[in-house]
Amino acid sequence: MDLLWAVIVTALLLSGALFSLIAAIGIVRLPDLYSRMHAASKAGTVGSGLLLLAVGIHSQDISVLARALAGFVFFVLTAPIAAHLLARAAHKAGHRLTPPSVRDELLTREQITRGAYRKKG
């Protein structure tokens, strides 16, 4: 039975580390602020959640597992919302998408008609 728990914890740790690595690579490699925030919030949330779950299971203590699950639920509820609010604030501050991005759905008709979506300079 201990071998089964060890395999489960190892699988959770490796998959959590992989998701965290993907989030880190996304932050470095993606072209604009919005894509980077998406990578950090989505893959980072899954990675940290899997790592918390692995710690909770490895401890073999119900109180530690409960706290790990509570931390995971809190992180799942707050990280994407925080990323959305930060992206919205960046958009209002004037940070625009890079050319590979397809469209900006937050631009108003007035901004589109006066050419706010065009690249400056």
Domain ranges of the chain: 2-95
Q: Which residue in 113, 109, 91 sits closest to 101, CA to CA?
A: 91
| pLDDT score, position 96 | 76
The neighbour count for residue 76, using CB atoms within 10 Å, is 14
The model carries a pTM of 0.77
DSSP 14-74: HHHHHHHHHHHHHHHHSSSHHHHHHHHHHHHHHHHHHHHHHHHHHHT-HHHHHHHHHHHHH
Q: Which pLDDT tens digits describe the chain residue by residue (121 residues)?
A: 899 999 999 999 999 999 999 999 999 998 888 888 888 888 989 999 999 999 999 999 999 999 999 999 999 899 889 988 998 898 888 877 777 776 666 666 556 555 555 544 3
